[in-house]
Every structure is written in structure tokens, then in C-alpha cells.
Amino acid sequence: MSELVVIGAGAFGSALAVALSRDGTKITLWGRDTKAMDAMRVSRSNLRLPGVHLSEDITITSDLSAIGCCGPILIATPMQTLHDMLGQISDPLAGRAIVACCKGIDLKSHKGPSTLIAEAKPDAIPAILTGPSFAADIARGLPTALTLACANKTVGPALQHQLSKKMLRLYWSEDVIGAELGGALKNVIAIAAGACIGKGLGDSARAALMTRGLAEMLRFSGHFGAHNQTMMGLSGFGDLALTCTSEQSRNFRFGASLGRGEAFDASVTVEGVATAQAVTEIAQDIGLDMPISQAVCAISTGKTSVLEALQSLLSRPLKKE
């Protein structure tokens, strides 16, 4: 029987399965596309992870009943599909950890992954796995450090030890809200950083956006009780630094395409678009000033241009930092 279940056989879910199975841990990797999963089972590879082998310790399936009734479940599906995915899981989950590996805010409910898990599966124990990481790096066994956030003081440390591997180091945090908001908000700022570079505005402008973006992240997360220390750690500043400076980041690439006025591959999930919209709506409801998030929402939905958004940001009243 598998010791761990990974739901979502995209690049990140498959990379996690590869990393977690390197020491012989038995993994069940589930994906919804039966044909794609059959092909992966035969080839022992994922087209989204070129050159990466899926060992025989990974059971590849499209049958949800195969997830069994024990061991943690890691869900690596897009944030906007998490609610529906949770509804499809019917196995007994009492005392079982469900670890959300997606980053964002649900656009319909304005809730984060931990709240969605708690509401859909009240007998389970919600946790968040987040931080600066790319699927290709994890799959190749490159050194990666992540935050595992879980409020349960018994389950959290146990999960930390179970999921930590030789080249995958996990730091446990009780601040679930801070961890999930850090992972969500940094995607919004990454789009802005990408637009800045794509428009040819330079690295100095990107650094300013990242810095003021971090201020927005602290302002928003602080309103909901997150700890500043969390936002300055791996799940906040660490993830922000990675996604704002690398072409591997889908959110950065999307922003860069906006800056260049180019079309972007519609099949690629860009979590920051929905998050920017959700953050803008929430900020308006609670009276928070989130100018970069509002600008990203406007440019990503075609309501304004990158230059118009920049001019709006630069024309804001001068103030003390």
C-alpha cells in the first residue's frame, strides 16, 4: 500500500512524486486523464518533465479509489479546481492530512486552500506545502527548501519528517494563513515584475516593484492575522524572489508577454490572474490599499495597458516608506 498519495499529475505533482519516492517510499500518483496516465505508466515519464524517470515505486493511476484509506494526501491541482477536486474524494479521511500544494485564492469564495479543505473535509487535517520551487528543479533532485504549514502541533512535525528528503528540506510553521497568502500574493507581484521586464523598464524598476509588492503582501496578510516572520521567510520573500526573477515562473512569463504585447499560451495555468482579481475584490471590501495588485488585475484582464498602469502607480502621492 502507498505511503503517500499525490493528486494531480501535472509537472509539479509528478515532480513531488519523483522526489518523495527517491528513498523507496511508495507513492500513488493520480491524474484525471485516463489516456495520459496510461501513457505515463508505460513510458514512466511525463512530457512536462523531459528526461525525468518515474520509478516503479510510483503507482500511476486515474482511479480515485486507488488513493486508499491511509497516509497523507498531497493535492497538486490548480487552485481554482481545488474545491471541485475535494468534492470528488469520498474515501474516509478522519485524522488524515490533506496537504494543499497549490497557490492562490479561490475566486468564487475568496477563500484559501486550508479553509476549503477544512470546510469540505472537516475530519481531515489541513496543511500547506509552499515556498520557492520549480517542478524541474525538484524532479532533478536539486536542493530545495519549502515551508510546510500545519496548525496541528502533532501532525505538523510528523509530516515535516515524513516529507523531508535528502535534497528536499521542509521547515514547519503553524502560521497556515501566512504561508498560503505568501504563496498566493507573490504570483501577483511576479506578473507585475514580468510586465516590467517585458516592457523594457529595467531591473531597477523590477526591484522597486518587488519591494513595494512585499509591502502589499505584508499589509494584506497582516489584516488576516499572518505573522510578518512568515512573510519574510521561504513562503513569502523567498518565493517572491524566485518567481519575480526567473523565466521558469509561469506568472513572470505571463507578465512579460503582457509587457511585450504578445499572446500567451492559454493552456498554461497562471494562478496570479485569478488571485489578483480576488485580492482586488477583497481589498475593496475591507478598505485596504493594494495598488500593484489592482494594476495587475486591470492589465491581466485587458482593462488597461502596462504603460497606463505604470503611470497610475507613478502618479500616486508621495509618502514616507
12-53: pLDDT as tens digits = 999 999 999 999 999 999 999 999 999 999 999 999 999 999
Taking the C-alpha atoms of residue 305 and residue 297, their distance in angstroms, rounded to an integer, is 11
Contact 156, 209 (CB under 8 A): no
- What average pLDDT does this structure show over 171-183? 98
Taking the C-alpha atoms of residue 179 and residue 103, their distance in angstroms, rounded to an integer, is 10
User: Is it the case that residue 1 has pLDDT exceeding 60?
Assistant: no
Taking the C-alpha atoms of residue 34 and residue 59, their distance in angstroms, rounded to an integer, is 14
Residue 75's closest CA among 41, 28, 40, 35?
28
Q: Which amino acid is at 18?
A: V
Taking the C-alpha atoms of residue 46 and residue 136, their distance in angstroms, rounded to an integer, is 11
List, in order of start, the domains of the chain with CATH numbers.
Answer: 4-174 (3.40.50.720), 177-314 (1.10.1040.10)
What pLDDT, on a 0 to 100 scale, did the predictor assign at position 243? 98
Edge to edge, the sheet with strand 144-149 lists: 58-61, 27-30, 4-7, 73-75, 97-100, 125-130, 144-149, 168-173
Whole-number average pLDDT of the chain:
95
Contact 258, 308 (CB under 8 A): no
CA distances in angstroms from 241 to 201, 210, 284, listed in the order given: 18, 8, 27
pLDDT in tens, 232-271: 999 999 999 999 999 999 999 999 999 999 999 999 999 9
Give 71's pLDDT tier (boundaries 50, 70, 90).
Answer: confident
Share of the chain above pLDDT 70, in %: 99
- Cβ contacts of 221 within 8 Å, gap of 6 or more: 177, 178, 181, 182, 185, 230, 231, 236
Active-site choice (103, 111, 121, 186): 186
pLDDT in tens, 260-304: 999 999 999 999 999 999 999 999 999 999 999 999 999 998 899
User: Is it the case that residue 94 has pLDDT exceeding 80?
Assistant: no
The CA dihedral of 98, 54, 16, 123, to the nearest 10 degrees, is 0
Burial class (CB in 10 A: 0-12, 13-18, 19+), 283: buried
Residue 26 among the catalytic residues = no
- What average pLDDT does this structure show over 160-181? 97
- What average pLDDT does this structure show over 89-108? 90
Taking the C-alpha atoms of residue 294 and residue 91, their distance in angstroms, rounded to an integer, is 40
